[in-house]
Amino acid sequence: MVKVKDIVARFEEFAPQQIAEKNDPIGLQLGSLEHEVKKMMVTLDVRPEVVEEAIEAGVDFIFAHHPAMFVPVKHFDLADPQNQMYAMLIKHDITVYAAHTNLDNANGGMNDWLAEALNIEETKPLLPPKAEIWYKLAVFVPEEHATVLRQALAKAGAGHLGDYTACSYSVSGTGRFRPKEGATPYLGEVGQVSKVAEEKVEVVFPAKIKAKVLQAMQAVHPYEEIAFDLYQVEGLGQGTGMGRVGKLSTPMTVNEYVAFCKQVLGLQGLRLVAKDPTRVVERVAVLGGSGAKFYPFALKAQADVYVTGDVSYHTAHDMYESGLAVIDPGHHFEAICKPHLKQLFTHWNEQNAWQIEVISSKLNTDPFTFI
C-alpha cells in the first residue's frame, strides 16, 4: 500500500521544501499524507475543471505545481466557486499537494526544463544560488556493529560526495555508561558502569535525506538509547537558485527566437519588448512564472533576451529603456512541467514498486485567449 507521504518523501529528496522561497504556500494543500494512492494526476493548476477531470479519472492524489490555496479560506461559503472546488475534493477523498518555488529552484527542475526546451546551454542560476544545507552525523556504536551501521547509512544515501559513495570516517574509543532500573541494556548490567569498545562513525549528507538517514541508523543500531551528534556543515553540496541563464545553442535574431519560442511552447501569441527585434541573440535568461521584477539580474548576466511571464506595463517600459529584449509567453508556459513530472513519478513508481497509475492533466488552464 502506497501512501501520499511515501510519494511526497521521494519527491522532496529531489526538490526539498527548504529550497522554496519564503512564505510560499507549498506542501500539503488538502487531504491527508496518510491517504492511500492507487492513481495520481500531475497538473500545473488546480482549477474546478481539473478537479472534475480527476474525479472522472478516479484519481486519489493530485500533484500540482501551483498551490491550490494561495489565499487562506476565511469563510467556507459554497457560493464561492473556489470553495465549491475544495468541497468536491473532500467529497471525493482526493488529496492535493503543491510544489511551487521548490520545484522552480531545484536542480533538474522547472527552470532547467524550460532552458532545455528553449535551447539554452551551459546554464547557471539567474539569481544568486543558495547554499544547500548539509549535516554531519557522528554516531557511537559497538565495534562489532560498525560495518552493518556504515552499510545502512550508505544505503540511505549518506556519504555521497561527488563521484564517490559510502564515504565515512571511523575512530575507535571506549564508551562508558551505567544502566538505571527499568533499562534493558544491549550490553552491561543494570546499576553497574560498563566499558565498551566502540567506533565513532561519521558521515555527511544533504538535509533532504535527514529523516531517511536517521531512520536507517535507528533501524540497525543495537543500543536502547543511541548516542550521536548531528550538526550542520558548510561547503558541501550544490547551490540552488531561481531561473537559468546560458548561451543559445544556435544564435538567431530576436524575431527568429520569438517564432521559435511560440513553436516549442505551443503558443498562439506572446508579448515582446524590444528596441531592436533584428538584434542577434546569443545569451538567454529564463525564469518560469512571474519573473519581471528580476530583469536586472538578466542585465547583470549580460543576457540578450529574458524569457518570463506576467510583465507589467511600467516594468516593460523600464525593460525597453534598458535595451534588454524580453519575451513574455504568459505564466502558463510553465505547463511544460506536466510531461516532466509524469516522467519523474513514473520512474519512481517503477523504481520503488509502488504499483500506482500516473496520469497527466490534459486540460489547458491558461485563462487568457489571443483573438
Q: Is 160 annotated as a binding residue?
A: no
CATH number of 134-233: 3.30.70.120
Flag whether 6 is marked binding: no
Q: List the domain boundaries for the chain.
A: 4-100+335-360, 110-129+241-329, 134-233
pLDDT by residue for the chain (371 residues), tens digit each? 999 999 999 999 999 998 999 999 999 999 999 999 999 999 999 999 999 999 999 999 999 999 998 888 888 899 999 999 999 999 999 999 999 999 999 999 999 999 999 999 999 999 999 888 899 999 999 999 999 999 999 999 999 998 899 999 999 999 999 999 988 888 888 989 999 999 999 999 999 899 999 999 999 999 999 999 999 998 888 889 999 999 999 999 999 999 999 999 999 999 999 999 999 999 999 999 999 999 999 999 999 999 999 999 999 999 999 999 999 999 999 999 999 999 999 999 999 999 999 999 999 999 999 88
Contacts of 359 (CB under 8 A, 6+ apart): 39, 40, 41, 42, 57, 59, 342
Hey, do 4-100+335-360 and 134-233 end up sharing a CATH topology, with the first three levels equal?
no
Superfamily of segment(s) 110-129+241-329: NIF3 (NGG1p interacting factor 3)-like (3.40.1390.30)
pTM: 0.84
Tell me which CATH code domain 4-100+335-360 carries: 3.40.1390.30
Contacts of 246 (CB under 8 A, 6+ apart): 115, 120, 121, 122, 123, 124, 283, 284
Please check if 221 is assigned to a binding site: no
181 is in an annotated binding site: no
Beta carbons within 8 Å of 371's beta carbon, 6+ residues apart: none
Query: Is 60 annotated in some ligand binding site?
Result: no
Per DSSP, the three-state class of 148 is: helix
